[in-house]
Chain A
Amino acid sequence: MFQVRIHGRGGQGVVTAAELLALAAFEEGRFAQAFPSFGSERTGAPVVSFCRIDDREIRLREPVLEPDALLVVDPTLLHQVDVFGGCSPAAFILVNTVKSFDELGLGEFVTHFHHERLLTVPAGELAREHTGRPIANAALLGGFAALSLLLSLDAVASAIRQRFSGAVGEGNVAAARAAYDWVGGELRELSRVPA
């Protein structure tokens, strides 16, 4: 079973991100479960959502306490909420930001993780470029597809289109693709640099 936890704030599409992830996994014939942290949601408040993916029926109902992958939609949460709680050193971590981990004050912290599994990506900027709004969730999923190789970009795109029709859907797919390519490029860079 692969467990994903997504952190962000109300209004940033955190819940939708988990659902899209689950839908993408479903498209690929897998079982997936997505659910939010059920807080008293309001715009701007910290929100967490979860997604589990497996090849058999998922029965577990607890929150994701030991994520195999962590997506952070809003970097302002990094020093406020324990976003990394329960993450193993082998976890995939993708943070939406234009800054580097050093600039985020996490330079030392990230040395505990596998450097090829831990990336920042300017998903919000890519989203703004392709959709006109800095809602980073779909783009982040594209980046995650490249980072984890858990899902294909096609599956992610299909999920996005099912959820968002017309220009909105296409814009988000484009943003996801852009993030996918961006992450792919970063990973290739990293593999050239000795660990």
Chain B
Amino acid sequence: MLRQLEGSRAVAEAVALCRPEVICAYPISPQTHIVEALAGLVKSGELAPCEFVNVESEFAAMSVAIGASATGARAYTATASQGLLYMAEALYNASGLGLPVVMTVANRAIGAPINIWNDHSDAMSQRDCGWIQLYAESNQEALDLHLQAFVLAEALSTPVMVCMDGFILTHAVERVDVPDQEAVDAFVPPFQPRQVLDPDEPVTIGAMVGPEAFMEVRYLAHAKQLRALELIPRIAADFQEAFGRDSGGLLRPYRMEDAETVVVALGSVLGTVKDTVDELREEGVRVGVLGLTSFRPFPLAAVREALVRARRVVVLEKALAVGIGGPVSANVHMALAEASAGGAPRCCTVIAGLGGRPITKASLRALLADAVADRLEPLTFLDLDWGVVNRELERMGASPTSGPHAENILRDVGPVAAGPV
């Protein structure tokens, strides 16, 4: 049914439709509306049987999910930013134990400095923890990916995080098609745990594994993600058949057939990029877009195939791998590395939107003009105020006790407008 909903609400309804048995959550902006909505559904009895556990930290949230999932219950939680980091140990534990927990990450920047706005640094910080990572482009896709996530997670016995841009998607009210319970029940079967704590058939889960077998156990986690490369498109195809929508999958090309320049990106910025590309196409610029939906597993072969005919690739990232550049770019480079030496497109990294700085069509137009003219540096920071940066660098050079960077910069940039009435 078509409804005009806040993204968080759409996700909550999607999760509820999947009949989770244990929801454990700790509040953090901008995920709060999701768990509040689910708390309401459980408390009113609309979502039952389901235990909603108000936990004392994100570390506890993932731990409760681990215990619940190991007991054969479909478990769900949601977090962002600092919360994701706080449960980092438990993330590795869940994936290492092979528990199919599904979690929403409302992507938000990681401090310091504290920042509640959107970027991808949180999920990117956990890209190697063994969880599958899917990125939603729109609220509809966020809704759809949660259904697919439960199917995927339980098929592989591996946890899945669905990433949706904090505030930009979570707090945007837009039209979504919410499927009915019957259709979801047909698509998401009851959870059949691969392993379960059951007094009738006791098992020991979580014992130490020594050097004799650790590599093999870890390889299995990797093998499962490789298997996901096949399963993700299959589930997306099943989804299309069941619900009539093209959602999910590994990646989504847009106007790439004859594109010389390709923008690679994840998440909601793809919408703005596509609008920009449409305008440029009107002007005869041969530019296309490659949206990555699955970041882990990273679809090396599919990315290579999609990009190999382009002349240049611009990877637009919302995260910074401090000291080197862009996490997504590194993976894209890997995909292109095996392409024939002469034919590989030139690949540039653009770091944008950190801490919620808007990525505008105007900036993208200018960026792509530079790209097409081959004026782009290998690493660019979009809309960075170099004046502000250089002034702080000067201060640092002038004195070893120059004070905190952020405070200095904020004084430089000026206070937010809030003058006398």
Contacts and interface: CB of A to CB of B under 8 A. Distances in A.
Contact present between A and B (CB < 8 A): yes
Contacts of B272: 59-62
B174 A33 contact: yes
A23 B173 contact: yes
B361 A62 contact: yes
B71 interface: no
A61 B318 CA distance: 14
Nearest to A59: B271
Residue among B30, B165, B172, B356 having the largest count of chain A Cβ atoms under 10 Å:
B172
Interface stretch (A34-42, A101-109, A118-126, A132-140): A34-42
A22 interface: yes
B142 to A, nearest CB: 13
Contacts of B275: 59-60
Residue among B2, B268, B275 having the largest count of chain A Cβ atoms under 10 Å:
B275
Interface in B401-421: 417-419, 421
B175 interface: yes
A31 interface: yes
Contacts of A45: 418
Contacts of A34: 172-174
A127 B389 CA distance: 48
Contacts of A61: 165, 168, 268-269, 271-272, 359
Given A62-B360, A65-B360, A22 B116 contact: no
Interface string B371-388: 000000000000000000
B59 interface: no
B421 A23 contact: no
Nearest to A20: B173
Residue among B174, B359, B360, B419 having the largest count of chain A Cβ atoms under 10 Å:
B174
Of the four ranges (under 10, 10 to 19, 20 to 34, 35 or more), the interface on chain B belongs to 20 to 34
Interface in B207-221: none
A19 interface: yes
A84 interface: no
A3 B271 CA distance: 16
B173 A19 contact: yes
A38 B116 CA distance: 9
Given A62-B358, A62-B359, A33 B172 contact: yes
A80 B419 contact: yes
A67 interface: no
A112 B358 CA distance: 29
A22 B174 contact: yes
Contacts of A59: 138, 270-272, 274-275
B364 to A, nearest CB: 9
Interface string B345-364: 00000000000101111100
A16 to B, nearest CB: 10
Contacts of B295: none
23 contacts: A19-B6, A22-B173, A31-B175, A32-B174, A32-B175, A33-B172, A33-B174, A34-B173, A34-B174, A35-B172, A36-B171, A38-B116, A38-B167, A46-B418, A58-B174, A59-B138, A59-B274, A60-B361, A61-B271, A61-B359, A62-B358, A76-B421, A81-B417
Interface of B: 2, 4, 6, 30, 116-117, 138, 165, 167-168, 171-175, 268-272, 274-275, 356, 358-362, 417-419, 421
Given A26-B2, A58-B271, A81-B417, 16 more contacts: A22-B173, A31-B175, A32-B173, A32-B174, A35-B168, A35-B172, A38-B116, A38-B117, A38-B171, A58-B174, A59-B138, A59-B272, A62-B359, A62-B360, A63-B360, A80-B418
